[in-house]
């Protein structure tokens, strides 16, 4: 049986509402089957008006552009392609139509307590609990493992330490966008391995998997320290002096970025969900989104008041990013919406930094910049923990260790820069 091939394409005929559905054409032995993805976009022969990228590149995963959810749609398309490739490898005798049917109606697990069955059940539990990011980590980790194995993984005896070591070595050769220039970073590989290791250990604890040592344990998942870029507090506050009313999206993105910093390093999902009912004359309150049941209350100051005064006190949310029916959306829809909002804000911040010759800025940098300012000012781990809303003092200790390592690296670089300068000066004098 010949190898299967896949092509992403819009349908020939548009829908009644004027949009066009996107599908994947599955080909094996010159026979085609079409998998509809439930994605609808505007398709136009004029590249400027079309949401279908006429110059798309499979390696860049940029089939859709200009749509509010283009990033989410492109990720869904890539996930479908990855799954189809795994199915085609696992079932070399299947026709294109049978591959499509396997994708749409995956066979039930013969043994629901197998490793793969437990992973899928755990993913559903995470989704039901609203922990979408953890569910996505599990889904992609299992997808990569199945892609490497190209065989049935329901028998846990396949998962030996040697097999897992080979899998880790294979991950080091893979790339995000099928380009040799962007291989998986050590941090990404650690996420994939750790997600499966934690799931395996949880399965043993719950009795869903037979007792024994996890094959994912014992791997060297060291991630070298990397300096996290972030602007100084003075650079962030200088954004207050820029008039962006001529570009509303830049204006709202700048205000959101400033609130991330001013509200004691809030996360993007927390600040865009900030509600007017939690804004009083003296305080702004919001609930941190990660491992915390304690509300975060920030006293209002002149800078916060200046930003809040730019928005009318109407509707549910302070900032105009989320729809009013956001709470009624499913957990997955909320996750996708917040991800799209974050991407829009980061795109606007990139435009601002380029236009006004500022350092590169993203939403999460505001949180790190505030943490830096808090450490330098207070020099007290407990107070910093309370300001940031961290669940334990260990988070503050870990951050303090990161700052200490960065300072040591900077000191080391300055020493060798001086030595290099003196060496060049001596060489110049002797010539």
The whole-number pLDDT of residue 426 equals 59
135: region left, alpha or beta (phi > 0 left; psi from -120 to 50 alpha): alpha
The whole-angstrom separation of Cα 299 and Cα 340 is 30
pTM of full prediction above 0.85? no
Which residue, 316, 350, 348, 323, is CA-closest to 338? Answer: 323
The whole-number pLDDT of residue 424 equals 61
Secondary structure in 3-state letters for 165-193: HHHHHHHCCCECCCCCCCECCHHHHHHHH
The whole-number pLDDT of residue 113 equals 53
- Tally of residues, the chain: 431
The whole-number pLDDT of residue 110 equals 45
The whole-number pLDDT of residue 292 equals 59
Give the SS3 label for residue 68.
coil
List per-residue pLDDT tens for the chain, 431 residues long.
577 889 999 998 888 888 899 999 999 888 899 999 888 888 887 777 888 888 887 767 788 888 777 878 888 888 888 888 888 888 888 899 999 988 888 765 545 457 788 888 888 888 777 778 888 889 888 888 888 887 667 666 778 888 888 888 888 888 765 445 567 888 888 888 888 888 888 888 888 777 777 888 767 676 666 666 678 888 888 888 888 888 999 999 999 999 999 998 888 989 999 999 999 999 999 888 765 557 888 999 999 999 999 999 888 999 999 989 888 888 778 888 888 899 999 999 999 999 988 888 889 888 888 888 888 887 777 777 777 777 677 777 777 777 677 667 677 777 877 777 665 665 545 55
């Amino acid at each position: 049986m010949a190898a299967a091939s896949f092509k992403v394409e819009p349908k020939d005929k548009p829908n009644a509402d004027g949009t066009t559905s996107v599908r994947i054409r599955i080909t094996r032995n010159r026979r085609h089957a079409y998998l509809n993805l439930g994605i609808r976009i505007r398709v136009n022969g004029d590249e400027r008006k079309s949401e279908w990228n006429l110059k798309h590149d499979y390696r860049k995963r940029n089939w859709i552009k200009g749509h509010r959810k283009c990033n989410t749609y492109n990720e869904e398309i890539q996930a479908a392609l990855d799954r189809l490739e795994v199915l085609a490898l696992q079932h070399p005798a299947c026709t294109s139509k049978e591959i499509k049917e396997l994708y749409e109606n995956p066979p039930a697990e013969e043994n629901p307590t197998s490793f793969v069955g437990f992973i899928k059940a755990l993913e559903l539990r995470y989704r039901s609990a609203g922990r979408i990011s953890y569910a996505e980590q599990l889904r992609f980790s299992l997808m990569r493992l199945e892609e490497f194995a190209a065989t049935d993984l329901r028998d846990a005896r396949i998962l030996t330490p040697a097999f897992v070591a080979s899998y880790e070595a294979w991950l080091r050769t893979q790339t995000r966008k099928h380009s040799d220039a962007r291989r998986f970073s050590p941090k990404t590989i650690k996420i994939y391995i750790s997600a499966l290791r934690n799931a395996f250990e949880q399965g043993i604890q719950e009795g869903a998997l037979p007792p024994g040592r996890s094959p994912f344990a014992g791997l060297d998942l060291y991630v070298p320290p990397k300096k996290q870029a972030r602007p100084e507090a003075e650079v962030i506050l200088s954004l207050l002096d820029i008039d962006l009313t001529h570009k509303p999206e830049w204006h709202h993105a700048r205000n959101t970025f400033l609130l991330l910093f001013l509200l004691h390093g809030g996360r993007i999902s927390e600040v865009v969900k900030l509600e007017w009912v939690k804004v009083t004359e003296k305080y702004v309150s919001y609930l941190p989104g990660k491992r915390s049941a304690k509300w975060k209350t920030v006293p209002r100051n002149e800078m916060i008041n200046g930003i809040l005064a730019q928005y009318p006190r109407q509707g549910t949310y302070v900032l105009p990013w989320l729809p009013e029916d956001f709470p009624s959306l499913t957990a997955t829809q909320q996750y996708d919406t917040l991800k799209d909002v974050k991407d829009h804000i980061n795109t606007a911040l990139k435009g601002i930094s380029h236009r006004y010759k500022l350092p590169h800025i993203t939403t999460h940098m505001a949180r790190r910049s505030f943490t830096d300012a808090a450490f330098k000012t207070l020099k007290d781990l407990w107070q910093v923990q309370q300001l940031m809303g961290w669940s334990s003092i260990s988070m503050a200790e870990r951050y303090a260790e990161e700052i200490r390592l960065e300072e040591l690296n900077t000191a080391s670089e300055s020493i060798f820069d001086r030595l290099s300068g003196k060496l060049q000066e001596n060489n110049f004098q002797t010539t």
